């Protein structure tokens, strides 16, 4: 068939007999391809494709569309690249690895797998572009690729989403908060997103893939796919009770998603009990009031309220507090309380243990103090008098009976 077609074609063109004799084989092949409905472009060694040749764009935005060059030959191919057609006023550029490109090398095929090279076409839509469909035609050698860009003002088309089921988490400042977050790529193109987080000063935020420990600053998400992330927040140790927002952003060329997470710090309740000097001892006199000071400290991050006092002392001792109740102590603050001890009058001189406890509904602090008890001075004089009287009596006895 191929020979007869070529021969017939030359029969009607005798003046081109020399041309026919040279190009008859090619003409025959072309004729067969045309009869079979196969265009010569289908035999291109290098093809130019994209996964999504039709996408929606917004007026004023810049979109980057991924392109793929495939080489089906056994040798590497270098092809020229260009923009054949673009809407008036649109900026259309072919880029790869951050640079403008006009030629590309595509490696040879390996076995049944074609060689591949990747590039992008960056399209900037004018801010005043009217809604509608706009064609963009690109070339790679003899290959042509037509893109259909639909300008729409509907923001639901082509967007990035950051969502979470738990936007508010509560706990003490010493805890780590883990927010599960989903990043959805609805842009119609594979995207690499830069991940950013804004938190209060002194706080730490780490973004990791779900169920992994490695922290990431960017992550790739295929078109139409989602990526499960985890935002781990460590509050500042000095964070007081309250609500703190954490703003997470995912950025890609022409796209941005933002999500606000709320960390509710309920505060930690910790109370300390000591003395102004730090020494846990005191002096007391039997039968008399003996005051000394203690210090109540709020060592937590939450306010302490309704602080009361109690004691455990030896039998027949009395212990009182002034004031006997504290309404509130702010985090990091302290209050001084006077403790008055009264050992019984007949207490033997020596060291005794007195336990003092400060208590709130949320925290308890307890400290044992060593109390050195002395007897009153008057009893010392009475003892000396008795001793002197006893000595005088003995002296008299020896004097009377010593003469005999």
- Range list of β-strands (E), 225-363: 226-234, 242-252, 255-265, 271-274, 281-285, 290-298, 304-312, 318-322, 325-329, 334-342, 350-359
Instruction: Please indicate whether residue 381 or residue 141 has the higher confidence score (pLDDT).
Output: 141
Comparing 341 with 18, which gets the higher pLDDT? 341
pTM for the structure as a whole: 0.42
* Residue 3 exposed, middle or buried by CB count within 10 Å (0-12, 13-18, 19+): exposed
Number of domains in the chain: 4
- pLDDT recorded at residue 354: 95
Q: Is the pLDDT of residue 73 over 50?
A: yes
- Whether 393 is in a domain gets the answer no
Same domain, 309 and 231: no
Q: Across residues 78-99, what is the average pLDDT? A: 93
Segments forming the whole domain that contains residue 139: 46-151
Cα–Cα distance, 18 to 28 (Å, whole number) = 16
- Residue 316 counted as domain residue: yes
What is the per-residue pLDDT for 119? 94
Span 244-280, pLDDT tens digits:
999 999 999 888 999 999 999 887 788 999 999 999 9
Domain endpoint, select from 151, 177, 194 = 151
Q: Is residue 135 part of a domain?
A: yes
**Mean pLDDT in the chain?**
84
Question: Where residue 325 sits, what CATH number does that domain have?
Answer: 2.60.40.10
Q: What is the pLDDT of residues 148-184, one digit of tens each?
A: 999 987 654 458 899 999 999 998 877 899 999 999 9
Same domain, 174 and 193: yes
Please check whether residue 400 lies inside any domain of the structure: no
Q: 371 and 348 share a domain?
A: yes
Among 35-44, 96-105, 127-136, 192-201, the minimum mean pLDDT is found in 35-44
Cα 66 versus chain centre, distance = 30
Residue 402 lies in a domain: no
Whether the pLDDT of residue 1 is over 80: the answer is no
């Amino acid at each position: 068939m191929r020979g007869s077609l070529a021969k017939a074609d030359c029969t009607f063109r005798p003046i081109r007999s020399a041309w026919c004799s040279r190009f008859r084989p090619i003409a025959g092949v072309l004729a067969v391809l045309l009869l079979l409905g196969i265009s010569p472009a289908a035999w291109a060694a290098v093809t130019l494709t994209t996964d999504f040749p039709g996408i929606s764009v917004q007026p004023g935005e810049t979109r980057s569309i991924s392109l793929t060059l495939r080489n089906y030959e056994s040798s590497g191919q270098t092809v020229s690249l260009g923009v054949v057609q673009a809407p008036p006023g649109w900026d259309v550029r072919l880029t790869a690895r951050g640079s403008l490109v006009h030629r590309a090398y595509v490696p040879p095929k390996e076995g049944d797998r074609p060689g591949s090279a990747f590039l992008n076409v960056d399209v900037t839509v004018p801010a005043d572009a009217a809604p509608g469909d706009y064609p963009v035609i690109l070339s790679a050698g003899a290959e042509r690729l037509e893109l259909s860009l639909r300008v729409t003002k509907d923001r639901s088309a082509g967007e990035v989403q950051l969502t979470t089921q738990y936007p508010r988490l509560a706990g003490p400042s010493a805890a780590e908060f883990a927010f599960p977050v989903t990043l959805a790529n609805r842009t119609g193109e594979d995207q690499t997103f830069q991940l950013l987080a804004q938190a209060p000063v002194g706080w730490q935020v780490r973004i990791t893939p779900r169920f992994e420990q490695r922290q990431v600053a960017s992550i790739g998400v295929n078109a139409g796919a989602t990526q499960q992330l985890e935002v781990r927040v460590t509050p500042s140790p000095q964070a007081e009770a309250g609500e703190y927002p954490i703003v997470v952003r995912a950025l890609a060329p022409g796209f941005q998603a933002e999500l606000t997470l709320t960390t509710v710090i309920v505060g930690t309740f910790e109370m300390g009990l000591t003395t102004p000097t730090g020494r846990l001892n005191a002096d007391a006199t039997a039968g008399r009031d003996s005051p000394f000071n203690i210090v109540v400290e709020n060592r937590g991050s939450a306010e302490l309220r309704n602080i009361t006092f109690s004691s455990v002392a030896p039998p027949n001792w009395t212990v009182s507090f002034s004031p006997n109740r504290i309404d509130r102590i702010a985090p990091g603050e302290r209050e001084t309380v006077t403790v008055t001890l009264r050992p019984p009058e007949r207490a033997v001189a020596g060291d005794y243990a007195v336990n003092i406890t400060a208590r709130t509904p949320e925290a308890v602090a307890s400290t044992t103090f060593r109390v050195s008890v002395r007897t009153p001075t008057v009893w010392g004089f009475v003892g000396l008098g008795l001793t002197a009287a006893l000595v005088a009596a003995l002296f008299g006895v020896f004097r009377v009976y010593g003469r005999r």
